[in-house]
Structure formats: structure tokens, C-alpha cells
């Protein structure tokens, strides 16, 4: 991330809440996947492993990029809101 939520005056709550929601969703999805994976037939297990490897290979860099760009977007938006409020205080 580009900035911590403490650096964001107006959008810090958005950043922390989004992070908490993403962590919760990831935990629930992981538990569901682990449970459902037990019911995959033996013959499909090698194909599932290949799919998991591909998802890790492509998903991890994509997730990192999205997180980085999300932090940058919030920083830009927060700066613009600060500027707008500063102009309105004349």
C-alpha cells in the first residue's frame, strides 16, 4: 500500500474497512473451498492441482497490483478532497 490509513484524513476508514472485509471474505471462502475440495473425485484431483497452481501464479501478482493501485487511488482522492475543503474555507 502507498499509505497507511492514518495518512488519509477523509478515506482512512474506507481503507481499513475494505481491508477487514477482504480478510473476512478470504477466510470464509478458504474454509468453504477446503470443505468442498474434500468431495472432488480422485480422478479430478490432478486437474484441480493444476488449476490451483495457475490461480496462484497469476492471482498473486494481480492482487498485489490491485492493492497498490487501490492505495494510490485513495491517496489521490483524499488529497483532492482536502484541497476542495481548503478552497471552501476562504
SS (H, E, C) the chain: CCCCHHHCCCCHHHHHHHHHHHHHHHHHHHHHHHHHHCCCCHHHHHHHHHHHHHHHHHHHHHHHHHHHHHHHHHHHHHHHHHHHHHHHCC
- Quick check: pTM over 0.85? no
| Residue 35 lies in domain | 10-88
Q: Into how many domains does the chain fold?
A: 1
Match 487501490 to its residue by C-alpha cell: 70
Cα separation, 86 vs 90, whole angstroms: 7
Question: Is 3 inside a domain boundary?
Answer: no
Question: Is 2 inside a domain boundary?
Answer: no
- pLDDT tens digits for range 14-46: 878 888 998 899 899 999 999 999 999 999 999
pLDDT at 3: 44
Amino acid at each position: 500500500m502507498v499509505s497507511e490509513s492514518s495518512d488519509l484524513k477523509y478515506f482512512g476508514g474506507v481503507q481499513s474497512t475494505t481491508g477487514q472485509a477482504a480478510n473476512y471474505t478470504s477466510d470464509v471462502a478458504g474454509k468453504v473451498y477446503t470443505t468442498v475440495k474434500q468431495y472432488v473425485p480422485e480422478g479430478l484431483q490432478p486437474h484441480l492441482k493444476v488449476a490451483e497452481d495457475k490461480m496462484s501464479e497469476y492471482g498473486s501478482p494481480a492482487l498485489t497490483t490491485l492493492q497498490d493501485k487501490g492505495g494510490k487511488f485513495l491517496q489521490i482522492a483524499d488529497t483532492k478532497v482536502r484541497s476542495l475543503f481548503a478552497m471552501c474555507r476562504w
